[in-house]
């Protein structure tokens, strides 16, 4: 299990450091955005890993400037290989992100990236907006929407993303 966790971290780290534009946290020296983002990840991970106990999930924040933080979630098992596990995992991640961000309404977040380790190795992810996560979590929590309706909106919004290496001149 420890080896798989290290692999998840390594795959996510490679993605964050090499392939996303502005992937390195660029907070001003007096700005605590990086620490806050790491704290938010440390709140979301246990929520996800408690509910989805069949696969370990890691959260990595990526501060992207004025748009806010992008949160990258990578899970160690091939979640996307089976529709039921994909649906459950993505709903739980979106709900955890939405709850955490709704509890901190002034925090700016941009996108959520999802992948399992095999996808991350290929630099392939899915993404949705953090604003959608906040909205859906609030609607489900307040009884305005079912989890099935939530999944319908998430699946309609899931956008594939493949990172391409930067060309060095």
- Residue 142: the pLDDT is 93
Q: How far is CA 98 from CA 24, 51, 58, 105, 139, in A?
A: 24, 15, 17, 10, 10
Q: What is the pLDDT of residues 42-52, one digit of tens each?
A: 999 999 999 99
With 70 as the cut, is the pLDDT of residue 165 above it?
no
- Residue 67: the pLDDT is 85
With 90 as the cut, is the pLDDT of residue 6 above it?
no
Q: Are 69 and 14 in contact (CB under 8 A)?
A: no
pTM attached to this predicted model: 0.80
Mean pLDDT of the region 108-127: 94
**Residue 127 counted as domain residue:** yes
Number of domains in the chain: 1
With 90 as the cut, is the pLDDT of residue 91 above it?
yes
**Residue 74 counted as domain residue:** yes
**Residue 14 counted as domain residue:** yes
Per-residue pLDDT band for 168 (boundaries 50, 70, 90) equals low
**DSSP readout, 61-80?**
EEE-GGG-EEEEEEESS-GG
SS3 166: coil
Distance CA 45, CA 62 (A): 15
- Residue 166: the pLDDT is 54
With 60 as the cut, is the pLDDT of residue 158 above it?
yes
Q: Which residues pair with 78 in a beta bridge?
A: none
**Residue 167 counted as domain residue:** no
- Residue 29: the pLDDT is 35
**Residue 169 counted as domain residue:** no
Max alpha carbon distance in the chain (Å)? 54
Q: Which residues pair with 71 in a beta bridge?
A: 61, 112
Domain coverage including residue 20:
2-162
């Amino acid at each position: 299990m420890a080896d798989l966790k290290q692999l998840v971290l390594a795959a996510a780290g490679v993605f964050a450091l090499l392939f996303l534009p502005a992937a390195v946290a660029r907070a001003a020296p007096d700005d605590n955005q990086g620490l806050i983002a790491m704290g938010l990840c440390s709140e979301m991970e246990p929520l996800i890993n408690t509910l989805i106990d069949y696969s370990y999930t890691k959260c990595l924040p990526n501060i992207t400037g004025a748009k806010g933080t992008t949160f990258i979630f990578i899970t160690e098992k091939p979640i996307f290989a089976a529709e039921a596990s994909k649906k459950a995992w993505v709903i739980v991640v979106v709900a955890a992100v939405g709850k955490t961000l709704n509890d901190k309404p002034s925090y700016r977040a941009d996108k959520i990236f999802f992948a399992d380790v095999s996808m991350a190795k290929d630099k392939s992810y899915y993404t949705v907006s953090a604003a959608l996560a906040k909205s859906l979590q609030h609607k489900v929590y307040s009884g305005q929407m079912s989890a099935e309706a939530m999944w319908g909106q998430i699946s309609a919004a899931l956008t594939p993303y493949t990172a391409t290496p930067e060309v060095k001149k």
